[in-house]
């Protein structure tokens, strides 16, 4: 068996989630538990948590999937217009046909137009690649960039805490994971001095070539300032690093003091010395934001300043996979080409979008406030994304008990939480954390009343846990 596959770990769907599945099966068989359901707070799956789909997106998808509906008076004209445009660009006017490997051309054009509107700087459709969710794009770019052996193996810099996709792909590709730590005491800020430390130490055993940034942060929820992004770009320029900007939570900014700035925009505003030289791949998705359309697996990446020869190799790599799901491409198109003022669906679309994002902002504040009332739990402000990543106190006796079960202390904590309350969260060790600190990641997606129940159950469990292992 491929040893690199055995080395892959993905905590978001790891052992604790498998245990949650077992408990669900036991509940279905009538086995009594101190709870009646498993609450899967481990993953950012909005619709599974009860969020309603955006009407306009589903209308266009219904029309694309079953074009006979185009003659129905039940659908608005702006939805029909978009559906016709997408279908006319598909082979045989059907979502069931393959597309070009880089994606449907008119959808790539719409993505480029969206980026241009968002950033105020030009985007070229030829630099747009539609992907099977953002994860597929990230994996593909890393596959393109990783090379070498021994001390010349490619080093990939990732934030700690990180989204486990990165460590999993790095293991799969036999690259070298280069950790840089976010500053928990400063709201998970990214410090360029820490990047310098990480690169300096990594050069002893690998060749650092790639710098991954997650903004807004997952699992940490911070939103990077424009100044921070400038500093990161300058550092990447100095060190000749390829920048990966994971921006799938760009719509999920809740703090009134924060604003999302894309790396592409800041790069161009820094002038041609940077904008013509720094290699950058930026990623977006249908899965997060206000849409929450995880199952469509829609995404895109914009890759700039890639050498033409390497660009050809990227297209070849994409061609091996044939194409991303065309239905996912259509969903991505609706995200980047929503109703505009004056169109029939604009008011309803705006209401639904604002409701979802306002609701998430309310839940972010609620989660932060309630966690910070609990002795032994500290939660930084949830500026963006859709998770809390609180630090938890685990007493020495609990650490010993975990070791006797051959578990990481926070895995032990989260397993006990699951077994006693039915709440499934992911231990911080699955994302990486500074030694001696413990965390868990929990989504804020459940409806407000259910979220309050979850938070109070976590509070009660935590206090009993501290008492038991005092």
Q: Does residue 16 surpass a pLDDT of 60?
A: yes
- Taking only the tens place, the pLDDT of each residue in 21-45 is 999 999 999 999 989 999 999 988 9
pLDDT of residue 2: 75
More confident residue, 319 or 363: 363
- Domain locations in the chain as residue ranges: 3-51+350-468, 98-336
pLDDT of residue 4: 73
Q: What is the mean pLDDT of residues 298-327?
A: 93
For residue 232, CA distances in Å to 222, 236, 284, 445 come to 15, 6, 20, 31
- Taking only the tens place, the pLDDT of each residue in 230-258 is 999 999 999 999 999 999 999 999 999 99
Domain 98-336 class in CATH = alpha beta
Query: What is the rounded distance in angstroms from the CA atom of residue 266 to the CA atom of residue 375?
Result: 41
Q: What is the mean pLDDT of residues 276-294?
A: 95
- Taking only the tens place, the pLDDT of each residue in 140-180 is 999 999 988 888 899 999 999 999 899 989 988 989 999 99
pLDDT of residue 83: 97
Q: Does residue 115 surpass a pLDDT of 60?
A: yes
Q: What is the mean pLDDT of residues 265-287?
A: 96
**Per CATH, which fold does 3-51+350-468 belong to?**
3.90.1150
pLDDT of residue 147: 87
pLDDT of residue 382: 96
Share of the chain above pLDDT 90, in %: 86
pLDDT of residue 9: 66
How would residue 13 be classed by pLDDT, with cut points 50, 70 and 90? low
- Taking only the tens place, the pLDDT of each residue in 398-425 is 999 999 999 899 999 999 999 999 999 9
Q: What is the mean pLDDT of residues 115-125?
A: 96
pLDDT of residue 154: 93
pLDDT of residue 12: 57
pTM as predicted: 0.92
Query: What is the rounded distance in angstroms from the CA atom of residue 303 to the CA atom of residue 310?
Result: 11
For residue 332, CA distances in Å to 83, 200, 449 come to 13, 39, 31
Q: What is the mean pLDDT of residues 336-348?
A: 97
Q: Does residue 226 surpass a pLDDT of 80?
A: yes
pLDDT of residue 197: 97
pLDDT of residue 456: 95
pLDDT of residue 10: 63
- Taking only the tens place, the pLDDT of each residue in 425-457 is 999 998 999 999 999 999 999 999 999 999 999
How would residue 11 be classed by pLDDT, with cut points 50, 70 and 90? low
For the four alpha carbons of 195, 200, 204 and 210, in that order, the dihedral sign comes to positive
Rounded-to-10 torsion of CA 332, 333, 334, 335: 50
């Amino acid at each position: 068996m491929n040893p690199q596959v055995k080395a892959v770990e993905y905590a978001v769907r790891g052992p604790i989630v498998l245990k949650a599945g077992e408990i669900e099966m036991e509940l279905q068989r009538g086995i009594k538990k101190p709870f009646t359901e498993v609450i899967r707070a481990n993953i950012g799956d909005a619709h599974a948590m009860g969020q309603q789909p955006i009407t306009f997106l589903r209308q266009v998808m219904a029309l694309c999937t079953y074009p006979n509906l185009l003659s129905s008076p039940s659908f608005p004209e702006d939805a029909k217009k978009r559906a016709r445009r997408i279908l006319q660009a598909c082979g045989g006017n059907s979502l069931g046909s393959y597309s070009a490997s880089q994606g449907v051309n008119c959808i790539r054009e719409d993505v480029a137009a969206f980026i241009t509107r968002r950033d105020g700087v030009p985007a070229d459709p030829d630099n747009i690649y539609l992907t099977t969710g953002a994860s597929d794009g990230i994996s593909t770019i890393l596959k393109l960039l990783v090379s070498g052996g021994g001390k010349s193996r490619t080093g990939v810099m990732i934030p700690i805490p990180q989204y486990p996709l990165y460590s999993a792909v790095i293991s799969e590709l036999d690259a070298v994971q280069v950790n840089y730590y976010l500053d928990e005491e400063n709201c998970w800020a990214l410090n360029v001095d820490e990047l310098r430390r990480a690169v300096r130490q990594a050069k002893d055993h690998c060749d650092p070539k790639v710098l991954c940034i997650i903004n807004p942060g997952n699992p940490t929820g911070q939103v990077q300032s424009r100044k921070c992004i400038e500093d990161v770009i300058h550092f990447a320029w100095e060190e000749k690093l390829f920048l990966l900007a994971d921006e799938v939570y760009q719509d999920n900014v809740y703090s009134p003091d924060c604003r999302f700035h894309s790396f592409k925009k800041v790069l161009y505003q820094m002038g041609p010395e940077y904008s013509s030289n720094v290699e950058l791949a930026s990623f977006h998705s249908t899965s997060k934001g206000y849409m929450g359309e995880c199952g469509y697996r829609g995404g895109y990446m914009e890759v700039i300043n890639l050498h033409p020869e390497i660009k050809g190799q990227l297209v070849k790599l994409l061609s091996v996979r044939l194409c991303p799901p065309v239905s996912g491409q259509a969903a991505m198109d609706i995200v980047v080409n929503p109703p505009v003022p004056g169109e029939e669906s604009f008011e309803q679309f705006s209401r639904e979008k604002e409701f979802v994002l306002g609701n998430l902002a309310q839940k972010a504040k609620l989660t932060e406030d309630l966690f910070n009332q609990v002795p032994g739990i500290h939660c930084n402000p949830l500026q963006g994304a859709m998770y809390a990543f609180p630090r938890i106190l685990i007493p020495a006796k609990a650490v010993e008990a975990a070791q006797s079960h051959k578990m990481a202390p926070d895995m032990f904590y989260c397993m006990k939480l699951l077994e006693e309350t039915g709440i499934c969260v992911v231990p911080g060790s699955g994302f990486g954390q500074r030694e001696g600190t413990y965390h868990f990641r929990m989504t804020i997606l459940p409806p407000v009343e259910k979220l309050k129940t979850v938070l109070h159950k976590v509070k009660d469990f935590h206090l009993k846990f501290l008492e038991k292992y005092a």
